């Protein structure tokens, strides 16, 4: 009995030991499975979220880079298209100049009034497309009727459908973008490069002096420039002459070396002793500043030949009148500035309407009726009634791309004009 109890106690103790061991094991398992795995799952979740954020950032960066590259490629494509549209505007302008020189000018004496085709015909792709589209639409309808086909409806002509219905050939204006151009007569201005020739320097000096003579321009010569130098009218004209003439001798009463005007500057340079390449080069000449160019720049050129009295503006005509008047004429006095300019404006207004001027004699005779005695032979040295040199400012636009081309055409010999200047912006 005692042995049996002893064994029973041992079994009970062993059972309780096993129970404790099992409880400890289950507790460890629980902690391992639930507590530890929960922490690991948090770390895993953090890693997954971080990875997703990085992949999203990389994807967005890649997408943005692709869009930027696509936009750059599109802009480059549009710029090329815009450039060639601007070139098209140049060629349109050359065609108009060619017609002017070969047809209009040839029969201008038989015309009731002067015609300047480059001022009348607008060089604009929108207007040209509308014009050619109307012609093509009418022609296609005639072709359809002649072939017994169905007449093309008005709505079928939109968005290029007319082409597929008729010939399948694209019509003018069936392109993306537009172009337009403006033509200026460079022969309506004073050519500063005429000062390079000894035989023309006297006329250039006098003509420029007459252009700047009015008292309203005195403020340009009353203040020092940025280098502290004062420049009057005569010194400015002499500086232009010395910039283009081939010698090194300074013009004017001071004499000396012509580079002395620029040798004392903070950034010294020498006179060019060659013709101006562009009008902007005038800024290099002593006395020429932004104010001077703002007032006189539109009346000066580096490409024209003689001043065309049919295209020159009123201030240039006024300078030409002073140039042709005797030096002792009362209209040469500063008090007559407004009178001379008034006569010039009157001539400009009439020449574009009812006044027929086919020669310098007609020009001189008109002012003779106004009481002016002009020296026709003297005026003929610097002026005429013909234009041969034209500046074309063309613009091509496609999307956000915009290209400007400035070209100068000399049509004095070549029918379509010889290209003498080209600038692409």
Q: Is the pLDDT of residue 142 over 70?
A: no
Give the pLDDT band of residue 413 (cuts 50, 70, 90). confident
pLDDT in tens, 241-296: 999 999 888 887 677 888 888 888 888 899 999 999 999 999 999 889 999 999 99
> How far is it, in rounded angstroms, from Cα 186 to Cα 38?
87
Long-range contact pairs involving 133-141 (C-beta distance under 8 Å, separation at least 24): 133/157, 133/171, 133/172, 133/173, 136/162, 136/171, 136/172, 137/162, 140/165, 140/166, 140/167
Averaged over 334-350, what is the pLDDT?
91
SS3 5: helix
Q: Is the pLDDT of residue 8 over 70?
A: no
Residue with tokens 């069936």: 174
In DSSP terms, 185 is beta-bridged to 390
Averaged over 41-51, what is the pLDDT?
75
More confident residue, 112 or 282: 282
pLDDT for the residue numbered 168 = 52
Q: Average pLDDT over the chain, rounded to whole?
A: 81
Of 31-40, 104-113, 308-317, the range with the lowest mean pLDDT is: 31-40
8 Å CB contact between 271 and 223: no
Give the pLDDT band of residue 297 (cuts 50, 70, 90). very high
pTM for this entry: 0.76
More confident residue, 17 or 312: 312
Alpha-helical regions (H) of 279-382? 290-296, 314-324, 337-351, 360-368, 376-379
Phi and psi of 247, rounded to 5°? -90, 175
Which string of DSSP letters, residue by residue, matches 130-187? HHHHHHHHHHHHHHHHHTT-PPPPGGGGGGGHHHHHTTSPPPTT-SSSEEEEEEEEGG
Q: Is the pLDDT of residue 5 over 80?
A: no
Q: Is the pLDDT of residue 86 over 60?
A: yes
Q: Is the pLDDT of residue 49 over 70?
A: yes
Q: Is the pLDDT of residue 24 over 70?
A: no
Q: Is the pLDDT of residue 150 over 70?
A: no
pLDDT for the residue numbered 16 = 54
Give the pLDDT band of residue 4 (cuts 50, 70, 90). very low
Q: Is the pLDDT of residue 127 over 80?
A: no
């Amino acid at each position: 009995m005692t042995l049996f109890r002893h064994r029973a106690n041992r079994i009970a103790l062993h059972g309780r030991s096993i129970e404790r061991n099992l409880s400890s094991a289950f507790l460890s398992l629980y902690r391992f499975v639930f507590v530890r795995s929960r922490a690991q799952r948090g770390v895993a979740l953090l890693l997954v979220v971080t990875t997703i954020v990085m992949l999203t950032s990389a994807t967005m960066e890649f997408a943005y880079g692709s869009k930027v590259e696509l936009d750059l490629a599109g802009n480059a494509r549009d710029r090329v298209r815009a450039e060639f549209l601007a070139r098209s505007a140049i060629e349109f302008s050359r065609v108009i100049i060619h017609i002017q020189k070969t047809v209009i000018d040839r029969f201008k004496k038989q015309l009731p009034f002067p015609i300047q085709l480059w001022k009348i015909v607008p060089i604009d792709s929108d207007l040209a497309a509308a014009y050619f589209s109307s012609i093509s639409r009418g022609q296609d309808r005639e072709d359809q009727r002649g072939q017994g086909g169905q007449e093309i409806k008005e709505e079928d002509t939109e968005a290029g459908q007319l082409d597929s219905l008729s010939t399948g050939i694209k019509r003018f204006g069936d392109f993306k973008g537009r172009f337009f151009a403006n033509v200026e007569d460079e022969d309506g201005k004073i050519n500063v490069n005429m000062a390079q020739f000894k035989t023309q320097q006297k006329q250039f000096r006098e003509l420029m002096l007459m252009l700047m003579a009015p008292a309203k321009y005195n403020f340009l010569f009353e203040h020092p420039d940025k280098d502290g130098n004062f420049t009057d009218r005569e010194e400015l004209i002499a500086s232009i002459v010395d910039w283009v003439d081939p010698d090194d001798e300074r013009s004017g009463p001071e004499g000396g070396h012509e580079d002395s005007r620029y040798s004392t500057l903070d950034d010294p340079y020498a006179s060019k002793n060659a013709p101006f390449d562009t009008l902007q080069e005038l800024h290099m000449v002593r006395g020429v500043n932004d104010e001077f160019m703002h007032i006189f720049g539109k009346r000066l050129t580096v490409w024209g030949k003689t001043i065309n009295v049919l295209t020159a503006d009123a201030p240039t005509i006024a300078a030409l009148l002073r140039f042709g008047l005797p030096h002792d004429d009362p209209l040469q006095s500063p008090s007559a500035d407004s009178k001379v300019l008034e006569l010039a404006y009157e001539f400009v207004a009439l020449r574009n309407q009812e006044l027929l001027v086919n020669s310098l004699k007609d020009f001189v005779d008109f002012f003779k009726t106004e009481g002016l005695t002009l020296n026709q032979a003297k005026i003929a040295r610097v002026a005429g009634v013909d234009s041969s040199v034209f500046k074309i400012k063309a613009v091509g636009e496609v999307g956000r791309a915009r290209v400007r081309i400035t070209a100068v055409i000399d049509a004095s010999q070549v029918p379509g004009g010889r290209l003498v200047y080209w600038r692409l912006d």
